[in-house]
Amino acid sequence: MYWWACLSDNQWVGEFATLFATNIQAISSEFALYRQELKALVKVAFPLVLAQLAQNSVSFVDTLMVGRLGNEALAGIAIGSTVFHFVLIILQGVLLGVGPIVSQATGAGDEESSARATRQALWLGVFLFVPAFTLYWNAYPILIWLNQPEEAAVASSAYLRAISWGLLPALWTMGLRGLLEGKSNTTPIMLICFVGVGLNIFANNALMFGRYGLPALGLVGTGYASSIVYLSVFTMLGIYASRKYASLHLFSRLRTPDVSMLSEVVRVGGPIGMTLAFEASMFSSAAIAMGTLGKDQLAAHQIALQTASISFMIPLGLAIATSVRVGQAIGSGSAKQAELAAQVGMLSCMFVMSLSGLTFWLMPRRIIGLYVNMESAANQQLIEFAVSFLAIAALFQIVDGLQVAASGSLRGLKDTKAAMVLTLISYWGVGCVVGAYLCFGTELAGSGLWLGMTTGLGTAAVLLTWRFHYRINQFKPVRPRVATETQTD
């Protein structure tokens, strides 16, 4: 008691205690803000994560079911599906411009801009559909020119003609998703996507194998089944949106294109489409380069990349939700809240991907065992390659999570043109160059390609994060200088 009394009499002890208590209170308050934002982020992101997993499962199910038709059909869907989805991803990327516009309009309480952006997405879908539809219907000579086998080119072109009928509703669906995502109403998207998965299995079974009195169309039946699914998903989403947001008159006021808003959607979404094209082409180039190293390294690459793609669905959903949260905060005029939303989104994505990366690092053989027979002597070389690729993919996961979250944050600011340039530099100026050198200029071979992709994604993560912090500071009000006694009028 004596020593405590002595300490209590010292002024510095009292000041220290006051400072300590103040800091603890500030930290506690800051933690509460992060926790509150995380809760809001997860509420928007969770249905989106499940929706992305459901969407990706459609292609997986198609491949499994087509496999029962034989190797020729499997080769046909491998080529045809790659062509269809590569074009679809780019066109959907353009329509991703709707989400940031709607989220900022929602934050500002501007319902009319939300309606206008969604309507113009429907018009834009028509404009994008025409050249893509023409491409799909004339794919055969292009595939032959690319030295694809005759049988595979015939099967692929037939598949592309069948699935091309579903392209327009698929694009329209992306526009309606932008509306719902921008308003943080993501649960209906998840539910409708799950219905689409079930419908896809049913339609595949009916049209591929001739069930329920329908003709057996084989691979072409898969294309028609996908078209039916795309149309059904759009119809369900359209009915829901028109009723939920009846005051927006989404379909009754389409009339003629709104040039100013249409230009805004293209201005925001066009660079997003190009960004996705740069990323997809980097991975496609890596696969082509890996094919020159032998079938074992190519198969190991596919295992590692497929596994990484599945885990990527979680940060992708979080990134879309981050874009929504940032956009709504900017729309309401709160740059500080937007910065908090971006920080929480980036930290969340890195945390999730750290867990998956740790799994890749600690349990690679269990993962590989899901794809191939681990006991087969013929697979041992493949397994060793896959183990080395998954080790690099552990780091790959973390930087991939950060770059997609940073990209989503920039979309929330509608700052997409700079992001496009930075990703081009990162993926092709750094990733592909480093990967090509390490693969063919050293003895690293396939591991060099993976290190190159990781370097490219890491560069994108750093540059996009820097760009966000630079741009968000432009939204913050500058503190006025305090006048001093020496200043004069």
Structure confidence at residue 74 (pLDDT): 63
Contact 453, 435 (CB under 8 A): yes
Please provide the DSSP assignment of 429-487 as one string: IIIIHHHHHHHHSSS-THHHHHHHHHHHHHHHHHHHHHHHHHHHHHHSPPPPPPP-TT-
Confidence of residue 484 (pLDDT cuts 50, 70, 90): very low
Please give the average per-residue pLDDT across 5-30, as a whole number: 54
Q: What is the DSSP letter of 375?
A: T
**Percentage of the chain with pLDDT > 70?**
88
CA 72 and chain centroid, separation: 31
CB-CB contact of 103 with 412 (8 Å): yes
Q: Which residues contact 37 (CB under 8 A, 6 or more apart)?
A: 325, 340, 341, 344
Of the pLDDT bands very low, low, confident and very high (cuts 50, 70, 90), residue 461 is very high
Residues 243-263: what's their mean pLDDT?
A: 87
* pLDDT interval class at 392 (50, 70, 90): very high
According to the model, what pLDDT value does residue 346 have? 94
Model pLDDT for residues 37-63, shown as the tens digit of each residue: 889 888 988 898 888 888 877 777 776
pTM of the full structure: 0.83
Contacts of 218 (CB under 8 A, 6+ apart): 69, 73, 208
Compute the distance between CA of residue 272 and CA of residue 155 in angstroms, rounded to an integer: 32
CA atoms of 71 and 260, how far apart (whole Å):
50
Quote the pLDDT of residue 487: 40
Q: At 434, which amino acid appears?
A: V
Higher pLDDT, 7 or 27: 27
Mean pLDDT taken over the chain: 84
Q: According to the per-residue pLDDT averaged within each range, which of 11-15, 139-143, 357-361 is highest? A: 357-361
CA distance linking residue 170 with residue 162, whole number of Å: 14
User: What is the pLDDT at residue 479?
Assistant: 45
pLDDT at 388: 93
| Averaged pLDDT, 352-377 | 87
pLDDT of residue 403: 94
Amino acid identity of residue 431, one-letter, is G
Calculate the alpha carbon distances from 345 to 244, 315, 426 in Å: 28, 9, 21
Q: Mind listing the pLDDT tens digit for each residue in 156-193?
A: 888 899 999 999 999 999 999 999 999 989 899 999 99
Residue type, 7: L
- Give the Cα separation of 291 and 125 in Å (integer): 35
Helix (H, G, I), strand (E, B) or coil at 101: helix
Whether the per-residue pLDDT at 1 is higher than 70: the answer is no
Specify the range with the lowest mean pLDDT, choosing from 199-203, 435-439, 472-476: 472-476
Taking 3-state DSSP, the helix, strand and coil percentages for the chain, each rounded to the nearest 5, stand at 85, 0, 15
Q: Is the pLDDT of residue 405 over 90?
A: yes
Average pLDDT score over residue span 284-299: 79
**Least confident residue range of 14-18, 234-238, 287-291, 445-449:** 14-18
Res 57: pLDDT: 75
Quick check: 382 pLDDT over 60?
A: yes
Model pLDDT for residues 315-344, shown as the tens digit of each residue:
989 999 999 999 999 998 888 999 999 999
The arithmetic mean of pLDDT across residues 379-388, rounded, is 87
Contact of 155 with 73, CB cutoff 8 Å: yes
Domain limits, the chain: 36-257, 270-476
Closest CA to 430 of 394, 460, 407, 400: 460
Q: What is the pLDDT of residue 2?
A: 47
Are residues 49 and 192 in contact, defined by beta-carbon separation less than 8 angstroms? no
Report the pLDDT value the prediction gives residue 295, as an integer from 0 to 100. Answer: 75
Q: Report which secondary-structure segment, H or E, holds 11.
A: helix 11-66
| pLDDT score of 459 more than 80 | yes
Q: What is the pLDDT of residue 145?
A: 83
Q: Tokens standing for 53? A: 């997993």
| DSSP secondary structure code for residue 428 in this structure | I
> What pLDDT is attached to residue 26?
53
Contact 85, 261 (CB under 8 A): no
Confidence of residue 22 (pLDDT cuts 50, 70, 90): low
